[in-house]
Amino acid sequence: MDLKLDGKSIVVTGGVSNIGRAITLTLAAEGANVTIADLDDKQAEAVLEEVRTNDTGKAQFVRTDVTKLEEVEALMASAVDKFGGVDVLVNNVGWDQLMFFTQTTPELWEKIIRINYIGVLNCTKTVLEPMIKQGHGAIVSISSDASRQGEPREAVYGGVKAAINGFMKTIAKENGRYGIRCNVVCPGVTVPEEDHEVGERSMWADKTALFTEDQFDKIAASLPLKKLGRPGDIANAVTFLASDAVAGHITGQILSVSGGYSMVG
């Protein structure tokens, strides 16, 4: 099926490691022109080389701290200048440090909120102006099933991701009249398969710092599908929602891609 993403200008934040890397490569494979926002210059070059090798879509890297509005404005301007506009924004940047809430500090709360939520606000605010002018667009934000189920050691992160769910529903209602669709993808535990899929700055650079191999096995066994999520699983869902050709009448939705961890009726 032709998703009609060929030549579309798509901005992917956090687009060089794990889920973000898979989103970038999957969209580029559909012929999209991807502007990657990240802070990992070394990993970004590796991803750009993969895009060039595949010889499908195009990609550029713009080093961006999404918590800083002026850097986000420069990011969107670069996408407009190079690729003629912004058709799709993927709010993918995310970070957490797993610990029980009683162990956390206000400094950690602020960091989690700024990276996971303020970054989404900055990017969404900045991209809406060109999307409204052009009369179409799609925004896909990566949340988490921790926002729907609650998850030990992810209290602040899960709360922030729940805020993203509500925020995106409101943005969908406010901007549907301009032809702008807004949806959310909620991954469960999503594990890179190879070391080269993550950079040194990624929270997945040391998987054992997050979960032991025994814990990974237990997580997989607890899921209806009996397997862990992989980055490509999330990338496929994002690509579907980015496409007006197949998802053009879908907006304001929250899609869990977690092997059945969350089943919301």
The pLDDT of residue 195 is: 79
pLDDT tens digit sequence for 155-166? 999 999 999 999
Return the structure tokens found at 101: 């809430």
Task: Tell me which CATH code domain 9-257 carries.
Answer: 3.40.50.720
The pLDDT of residue 264 is: 73
pLDDT tens digit sequence for 109-131? 999 999 999 999 999 999 999 99
Strand partners, 229: 190
The pLDDT of residue 265 is: 63
The pLDDT of residue 207 is: 72
Strand partners, 59: 34
The pLDDT of residue 197 is: 82
117 in catalytic set: no
Give the relative orientation of helices 41-54 and 18-29 as an angle to the nearest 10 degrees: 30
Q: For residues 173 and 17, what is the distance between their CA atoms, to the nearest angstrom? A: 31
Is there a contact between 231 and 262 (Cβ–Cβ < 8 Å)? no
The pLDDT of residue 129 is: 95
Q: For residues 192 and 208, what is the distance between their CA atoms, to the nearest angstrom? A: 12
- What does the domain layout of the chain look like in residue ranges? 9-257
Q: For residues 126 and 128, what is the distance between their CA atoms, to the nearest angstrom? A: 6
pLDDT averaged over every residue in the chain:
95
pTM, two decimals, is 0.95
The pLDDT of residue 46 is: 96
Query: What are the average pLDDT values for consecutive 10-residue runs of the chain, which has 265 residues?
Result: 95 97 97 98 96 92 98 98 97 96 98 98 97 97 95 96 98 98 97 84 76 90 95 98 98 97 81
pLDDT tens digit sequence for 6-22? 999 999 999 999 999 99
Listed residue (7, 38, 33) closest to 21, CA to CA? 38
Listed residue (95, 146, 102) closest to 120, CA to CA? 95
